[in-house]
Structure 1
Amino acid sequence: MASIPPLGYASTVNRVLEIPEIIELILEFLDLGDNARNALVCKRWSEICLDLLWRKVDNLPRLFSLLAPLHATRDGIYENFDRTLNLDDWRRFGRYARRVRTLTHAEGGEAMRTELYLGQAVFDELARSRTSLSIVPNLHTLHWRSDRLRPSVLFMSTTVRHFSVQLPKFTGQFLFDFFEDIAERMPFLTHLDLSFELPVRNIEGSLVNLFKKLEKLKTVVLPLFCLSSRVFEGLSILPSLGTIQFEYMEQQGRGDERDVQPFSPVLQEGAFPNLWDLSLSADLPDMIRLLNRSYAPTNLTTLYIHMLTPTQPSVISDFLVTVSEVCKQLKKLYLELFVPKNSALPAIDRLSWADLRPLLSFNQLSVFELRLDLALDISQGDIEELAAGWPSLEVLYLNNEPMPLIGGEASPLTLRALIPFAQHCPKLRELGLYLSGSIEDPNSFASTKNGLHLTLEPFRELVKLCVGVSSISEPASVALFLSQLCPLGCEILPGVSWPDGVGVVQVGHPMAQDIQRLSNEWYEKWNEVGRFLPLLTHLRMEERERRRALQEEVEDLRVRCKLLEERASLPTSELDGSCVVL
């Protein structure tokens, strides 16, 4: 028999479904086809669904077909409209264009075969017939990846705040004029993302001039090797700039490493008043000199350094000391060295804990990631000192991905290295270590108290354990040990995160094939640990619960026995004949 809903239930549901924000939250989970049909339900739903359908546009032919049918060639290229556009077309188009907030256009390569390419005649007709300067009047974000930059000007307006663009390989007056368009048509940009594949020295003057005119910029993203001294100086005068970063991704492009060597910008008073997140490629001696100069960016909370060359441990230590003294508010620090394939490496010493000890002098640092070519010279005692002295640690990657054939001996650290972090770092969410994943007795690290076997204290917040290129022998015993430390849901992540073209086994090395084979075997065994671990962790949790209940019961019995012993020791004259309830 069907249950009867409570009195007033239907009216409450109706009132809730009259709230546009709630309807939108529900409809956001549906695909475009479903929302196209939902737009026909009623007027209220129509407005909400049309907003969802056109809020993000990544298909310009679909958008412009609202004006008039597009004529496509056999190659799938839309070369022009079937007819001349008129005022009625633009009035109809306006109902949908005002809803667009994000527009993405990518062409060239694969896009030439996916029917996204628009002929120049289409853009010419749009520019000729439009009834207002802004085709998409409420556009907030514009992504443009095409060698044809001029059509993007049609979508530039004062409402755009985020702009990403792929620049062509050729430079000259055209590129200068395009930068002028950006500054004049989108003066309130807050996020600028530039992708290009050319030396930044070829466009430094135009770039600096563009930055000076975009006073509202908060975030700037550039390709690798493109934050030169001159560009850095140009960015330093922006009053609202908070983030400078680069990307390793191939689609972001890259410049010439020579443009950032040396890195020696000269900053003026008032430089970088709001900069908090800085990512750049530089040699550490250059960074030490920069931070020790007047007007250096001292308000950083996040600092990422892509080291250009292998660096002596003493220089890394000096850098850490300098940063701890200058950047008092720093919370996240990343140091990475990616060695190009088959590159010649200078003879340097391995980094030790003595060189990294300045990390403990940071006031607020909670995230530290270190990636070097050589494995660290670090012991179990060093790990215990690190963990005990850094209780606020949240993320630590301690060079868990050294290059296989460089210092290729096994790591001196075993799984025991995890124990101090579990004991002393209650906020730790991610941990990366280069280990020797071997253990004979999974319970050998557990302690005893009063003759009772005690389990290890598990991590409280750990969600990722990254083992990189760590070796491993027996997956079952390793998984059994980790089940004592890792909380349910913790991922075991083997392998490497090196960018393309770096961090690979040197092809010419006589042991290259053996190392590659061992690395693949270790990777598969760590994945096997990851498959075992959830079940074993769940069983450990049940075991801990039973142990806790047993300990509570034993303690209760101990209290009762003590009470009985105390009563039995009393003289008979003091007993009143009452019963003791246990």
Structure 2
Amino acid sequence: MAFLSQPRALQIPELLLRIFQFSEPEDNCTNARVCKNWSNEALAVLWRSVMFDVVLELLGPTTRRAIGDLIFVRCPEPADWSRFNHYAWRIHHLEVSWDSYHPSIFQHIASIRSRTELFPNLETLDFDDDLGNVHLFTHAKLKSLVLQSSVNAGDCPHTKTALLHLPLQTRHLETLNLGYLLIPKEVSHSDLASVLQGLPALKTLWLPGDWLVSQIADALAWHPVLECLVSTIIHRAHATTWDVFSTSLDPHSFPSLKQLDIAVPFARAALLLSQTHRPRHLVSFTLKCYWGEESVHSYARFIDVICSNYPELESLSVQGNDAEQYPAALQRMTFLELRPITRLSGLTQLELTHPLQLDLDLRHITEIAKALPSIEVLYLNDSPRISSVPNLTMSALVTLVSLCPKLDVLGMYVNACTTMPRISDDATLANLSIFSVGRSPITDPRSVAHFLESILPKACLLYSHTEDRVHSRLWDLVKRMIHQSEES
């Protein structure tokens, strides 16, 4: 009767599912008890993405021992498995966390379900545990797999076997993230290259920075649908291993690659992006670099190469803000070295970081803004590690009002100690949602707050992150003033 008395719209499963996706978990627990129709859709939302700890509660009572890991109070019984099956098919995303489970838990599961799929509709698996157990969760329908280790993977004896079996178990995998997996020495470059060649549907791949060597890059170059390739830096020691990627690619390499995110020095990046058979279709490029004995020339050479060879680039991020090893060898980046960026008229995102503040003034900001009319995200080194008084002032925001109407996120290192500029009543950065001032100096929080609340939208968030206690306190005061003004 309750079902018949409902409006017809609330009897349509697709509409119910959409509504429940915006509901709180507590509300969906209640919705699941209304009727069978509501129950199916509410449970679909509740169980779509879960932690493995929650799933274990279906198999019987568990307890956490003094050392922190979970263990079954008793072995799961047939009735427990029946309850488990009622929910397991609804799970599409599962997270398994390291050091949370006693080995006997996986032994119990393997003894009962070693030949059948635990989660038949599982599409995404985040696995941070002994890789010897990952086979219990993988199957042919899996689309996304994140493997990481909170301890050295070499301490897990089955890591190599688990990696080598991935193509057999997950042949249709589209996303593989090994970026934070400490791959043991027993796994050779040829082993990993063989694994990646056995995953023909791979579209997105994350690797540790020191594993993107030429042998693996050459193997990836023939992937027909690989669109995104990312390398990570786990330890500073990896920053000394620069023989990564390949500078002698074959014709037609990386036919589908659009996004490349690598950790190499500027000179190496310039070399691989200027080779004859470089990836041709990049629209997004990120370079992560620990500063070593590199000069402004190598940075400028890289900027010139990427702007010359990839005029259609939409996103460019150059991340190199570590000045701990060679601070004396560093030089400021001037607008002369950065000017090639103005050729990339289609840029929507630009992020530049450097240990020293960029040598920019209002004229340079105006030229950049005029050249990048579609820019939405603009970070111009808002937090240099070694800095002096910046040439830029808050007047730069007034310049951006008319030249960058699509600006959504802005980060700049500015001198907020000067007199605030005057603006017209309708001169606002209407679409700005985040403004980061980073380590910018400030003296008069009241005048800064008054200016910012007149030029920034009410919903815009102001961020600062400076170790200077005085400036940090003053920027916090600016935030409170703006917030109080909005409330009133």
| Fold conserved between structures, TM > 0.5 | yes
Match of 1:220 in 2: 205
Mean alpha-carbon deviation: is it higher for 469-478 or for 170-179?
A: 170-179
Q: Return closer, same or farther for 1:465/1:57 CA change in 2, 3 Å cut-off.
A: closer
1:490-548: per-residue Cα shift (whole Å, max 9, x none)?
Answer: 2221116xxxxxxxxxxxxxxxxxxx5xx221122122222323566899xxxxxxxxx
Measured against aligned partners, the alpha-carbon deviations of 1:264-302 in whole angstroms (never above 9, x if no partner) come to 443222211111111111111111111121221121111
Equivalent position of 2:351 in the other structure: 369
Letter aligned with residue 58 of structure 2: L
Residue 463 (str. 1) matches residue 433 (str. 2) = yes
Following superposition of structure 1 onto structure 2, how do residues 180-199 of structure 1 map, counting pairs within 5 Å? 180-194=164-178, 195-197=180-182
| Corresponding residue SS for 1:184 | helix
Identify if the C-alpha distance between structure 1 residues 483 and 82 changes in structure 2 by more than 3 Å, giving closer, same or farther: closer
SS of match in other structure, 1:472: coil
Q: Hey, what does 2:131 align to over in structure 1?
A: 149
Alignment of 1:374-393 (within 5 A): 374-393=356-375
Structure 1 residue 393: deviation in Å? 2.3
Question: CA 1:83 to 1:416, structure 2 compared with 1: closer, same or farther past 3 Å?
Answer: closer
Name the amino acid aligned to 2:112. S
Secondary structure, aligned partner of 1:437: coil
After TM superposition, the structure 1 stretch with the greater mean CA deviation from structure 2, 70-79 or 268-277, is: 70-79
Task: Return the match for 2:189 from 199, 204, 216.
Answer: 204
Contact 2:218 2:246 in 1 (8 A): no
Output aligned runs, 1:546-561, within 5 Å.
none
- Take 2:76 and 2:458, find their aligned partners in 1: how far apart are those partners? 63
Which of 141, 150, 155 aligns to 1:159? It is 141
The aligned residue for residue 252 of structure 2 is 270
Q: Secondary structure at the match of 2:308?
A: helix
CA distance in 2, matches of 1:201, 1:416: 57
The residue number in structure 2 matching 1:42 is: 35
Aligned with 2:241: secondary structure?
helix
Partners of 1:412 and 1:336 lie apart in 2 by 22
Gaps of 5+ in 1: 1-9, 112-116, 447-453, 497-515, 540-582
The answer to whether the 8 Å contact 1:305/1:334 transfers is yes
Partner in structure 2 of residue 432 of structure 1: 411
The alpha-carbon deviation at position 326 of structure 1 amounts to 1.5
Q: Which consecutive unaligned segments of at least 5 residues does structure 2 have?
A: none
Contact 1:368–1:395, Cα closer than 8 Å, also in 2: yes
1:360 aligned residue: 342
Match of 1:533 among 462, 482, 485: 482
Match for residue 523 of structure 1? 472
Higher alpha-carbon deviation: 77-86 or 345-354: 77-86
C-alpha deviations, 1:151-210, integer Å up to 9, x for none? 221111101111111244318984332112211011111111112236889642222111
- One-letter amino acid of the counterpart of residue 150, structure 1: G
Does residue 63 (structure 1) correspond to residue 55 (structure 2)? The answer is yes
The AA in structure 1 aligned to 2:358 is L
Distance in 1 of aligned mates of 2:447 and 2:185: 53
> Counterpart in 2 of 1:349?
331
- Indicate if the aligned counterparts of 1:200 and 1:226 stay in contact, CA closer than 8 A: no
| Structure 1 letter corresponding to 2:473 | E
Q: Residue 337 of structure 2 aligns to a residue in which SS?
A: helix
Q: Give SS of 2:58's match.
A: coil
Equivalences, count: 482
Partner in structure 2 of residue 231 of structure 1: 216
Partner of 2:261: 279
Deviates more, 1:380-389 or 1:166-175: 166-175
Q: 1:78 to 1:262 in 2, by over 3 A?
A: closer
2: distance between equivalents of 1:83 and 1:456? 69
Write the distance in 2 (CA, Å) between the matches of 1:54 and 1:460: 39
User: 2:291 touches 2:325 (CA, 8 Å); kept in 1?
Assistant: no
- Report whether the alignment pairs 1:396 with 2:381: no
Match of 2:464 in 1: 494
CA distance in 1, matches of 2:273, 2:185: 24
Residue of structure 2 equivalent to 1:315: 298
How many Å separate the matches in 1 of 2:185 and 2:288?
17
Is the alpha carbon distance of 1:133 and 1:314 closer, same or farther for their aligned partners in structure 2, counting shifts above 3 Å?
Answer: same
How far apart are the structure 1 equivalents of 2:121 and 2:305? 46
Note closer, same or farther for the CA distance 1:410–1:92 as it changes in structure 2 (3 Å cut). closer
Does the residue aligned with 2:142 lie in a helix, a strand or coil? coil
Percent sequence identity over aligned pairs: 27
Q: Does 1:473 align with 2:457?
A: no
Determine whether 1:102 maps to 2:93: yes
Q: Is the 8 A contact 1:101 1:141 kept in 2?
A: yes
**Post-superposition offset of 1:33:** 5.3
2:282 aligned with 1:291, yes or no?
no
TM superposition shift of 1:331: 0.4
Q: 1:503: which partner in 2? A: none
Q: Distance in 1 between matches of 2:185 and 2:321?
A: 21
TM-score of the two chains, using structure 1 as the length reference: 0.75
Look up the SS of the partner of 1:256 in the other structure. Answer: helix
- Pairwise CA distance, 1:384: 2.5
Structure 1 residues 56, 462: CA separation in 2 closer, same or farther (over 3 Å shift)?
closer
Q: 2:397 aligns with which of 412, 418, 423?
A: 418
- The answer to whether the 8 A contact 1:183-1:214 is kept is yes
User: Aligned pair in 2 of structure 1 residues 388, 133: CA closer, same or farther (>3 Å)?
Assistant: same
Q: Is the 8 A contact 1:198 1:256 kept in 2?
A: no
Give the counterpart letter for 1:15 in structure 2: R
Equivalent of 1:16 in 9, 12, 17? 9
- Equivalent residue in structure 2 for 1:176, among 157, 160, 164: 160
**1:83 Cα offset (Å):** 4.7
CA contact (8 A) 2:263 2:287 kept: yes
Distance in structure 2 (CA, Å) of the matches to 1:36 and 1:480:
46
RMSD: 3.1
Match of 1:303, as an amino acid?
F
| Deviation at residue 243 of structure 1 after TM alignment | 1.1
TM-score where L is the length of structure 2: 0.88
Return the offset for 1:227.
Answer: 2.8
